[in-house]
A and B are shown apart, each in its own frame.
Chain A
């Protein structure tokens, strides 16, 4: 590998690992906004004007749902086999599953009304919590704890294996099936969304524009 290739690869790895490190923060932001709903509603009820209420609620919904889509878009990098399986990179082992479960949460939002229907809200909430745990736990206690093996071994010899077990590149026997399962799940979920769209939506001419 020449210097130019090494520089490109180093920059690429830095970018990918920066995205991986920022994602727990995005996940926490996503969860915070989703679970802030009762607070936002309580404040909404205190507004005396319809205009102020609409601005407040629409701003909230836009930020909350926009963040969900951005998180999914960034999580898509963990579906790239070269990146996810790379022993040099080391990304959270369950990151593709987290992306898949987030995709299911968006599917539930698309096909139901999580703001009016309590059941859909609960489904979306549980899916978001599961997806965030699938990402945050291996990122914090695997990828970001790689230098703590000796400290963990000093507590108990069985704890030292935890960081390695939670990183994709160092555990290909587990990460490869996870990647394949996630890719299959993504394809199936995408097909369901496509079929739902074709069956449920009715074409309306855009005469207003």
Chain B
């Protein structure tokens, strides 16, 4: 169904999500990099319960914000939305980076494995750069009017560079699909009747604890 009011309302929502993603990316990066500060504070608690709650709330918030970044980035997998709105051209790739960091959290000992943590930091940093760079230098300079800003917008704004934008849209969806399959297979392997010795603990413990 095509109507100006409907199109305007849809564009308003998509534009709002794109703007909110800037704040979400900043929060995700900030919470990820705040880990040493949180750890230092955790060690100062004199009551075990306070330390556990502090750390649990931190980990929960940090991971939920990263998940929200990925979920918000879902609009960059919709071809019509990407081609028709002034969105950052690398938004889909940034979403794929957020998903890669989430996949690392799932498949490794995320908070106890330094290598995995550095890789997560890399993906979160790369994703934030891809999103914030294209948003601030592309989507937010469309009405500035200078020759440099017009040139930047013609490269970094999805509606002004639809061929590359659509290619990146399909590529991002493909990458997320592949990583999604890896996550599903990982879960199904853990839940198989004869789990690998290294994973056995992760399968059998939870229900007893809950």
> Which of B18-26, B28-36, B121-129, B182-190 is the interface stretch?
B182-190
Judge whether A89 and B188 touch: CB under 8 Å. Answer: no
Judge whether A49 and B48 touch: CB under 8 Å. Answer: yes
Q: Mark B58-91, 1 if CB is under 8 A from A, else 0.
A: 0110000001001110100111110110000000
Judge whether A59 and B60 touch: CB under 8 Å. Answer: yes
- Chain B residues within an 8 Å CB radius of A116: 207
Judge whether B6 and A140 touch: CB under 8 Å. Answer: no
> Which of A69-77, A118-126, A184-192 is the interface stretch?
A118-126
- Chain B residues within an 8 Å CB radius of A39: 105-106, 110
Judge whether B202 and A42 touch: CB under 8 Å. Answer: yes
- Asked if A52 is at the interface (CB within 8 A of a chain B CB), the reply is yes
Judge whether A45 and B191 touch: CB under 8 Å. Answer: no
- Asked if B102 is at the interface (CB within 8 A of a chain A CB), the reply is yes
By beta carbon, the residue of chain B nearest A26 is: B71
How many chain A residues touch B (CB < 8 A): the figure is 58
Judge whether A88 and B74 touch: CB under 8 Å. Answer: no
Judge whether A38 and B106 touch: CB under 8 Å. Answer: yes
Report the separation of the CA atoms of residues A32 and B183 in the bound assembly, to the nearest whole angstrom.
9
B77, B81, B166, B186: the one contacting A151 at CB < 8 Å is B166
B9, B187, B210: the one contacting A125 at CB < 8 Å is B187
Judge whether B1 and A88 touch: CB under 8 Å. Answer: yes
Judge whether B52 and A49 touch: CB under 8 Å. Answer: yes
- Asked if A197 is at the interface (CB within 8 A of a chain B CB), the reply is no
- Asked if A176 is at the interface (CB within 8 A of a chain B CB), the reply is no
- Chain A residues within an 8 Å CB radius of B147: none
Judge whether A53 and B209 touch: CB under 8 Å. Answer: yes
Interface size class of B (residues with CB under 8 A): 35 or more
By beta carbon, the residue of chain B nearest A88 is: B1
- Chain B residues within an 8 Å CB radius of A14: 5-6, 9-10
- Asked if B119 is at the interface (CB within 8 A of a chain A CB), the reply is no
Report the separation of the CA atoms of residues A59 and B53 in the bound assembly, to the nearest whole angstrom.
13
Q: How close is A23's CB to chain B, nearest CB, in angstroms?
A: 10
Judge whether B184 and A125 touch: CB under 8 Å. Answer: yes
- Chain A residues within an 8 Å CB radius of B107: 38
By beta carbon, the residue of chain B nearest A124 is: B191
Segment 19-45 of A: residues with Cβ below 8 Å from B: 21, 24-25, 28-29, 31-32, 35-45
A25, A31, A49: the one contacting B180 at CB < 8 Å is A31
Judge whether A10 and B6 touch: CB under 8 Å. Answer: yes
Report the separation of the CA atoms of residues A146 and B111 in the bound assembly, to the nearest whole angstrom.
43
Report the separation of the CA atoms of residues A114 and B192 in the bound assembly, to the nearest whole angstrom.
13
Given contact pairs A28-B71, A90-B1, A125 touches B188 in the complex (Cβ within 8 A)? yes
Q: How close is A131's CB to chain B, nearest CB, in angstroms?
A: 13
- Asked if B13 is at the interface (CB within 8 A of a chain A CB), the reply is yes
- Asked if B109 is at the interface (CB within 8 A of a chain A CB), the reply is yes
B interface with A by C-beta (< 8 Å): 1, 3, 5-6, 9-10, 13, 48-49, 52-53, 56, 59-60, 67, 70-72, 74, 77-81, 83-84, 102, 105-107, 109-112, 166, 173, 180, 183-184, 186-188, 190-193, 199, 201-203, 205-207, 209-210
- 12 A-B Cβ contacts within 8 A? A24-B74, A32-B71, A35-B186, A36-B106, A38-B199, A51-B49, A53-B210, A55-B53, A55-B56, A56-B56, A57-B209, A121-B191
Add 14 more A-B contacts to A42-B109, A121-B191 (CB < 8 A). A29-B71, A35-B183, A38-B186, A39-B106, A41-B202, A44-B205, A45-B205, A61-B210, A115-B206, A115-B210, A121-B187, A125-B188, A140-B79, A148-B80
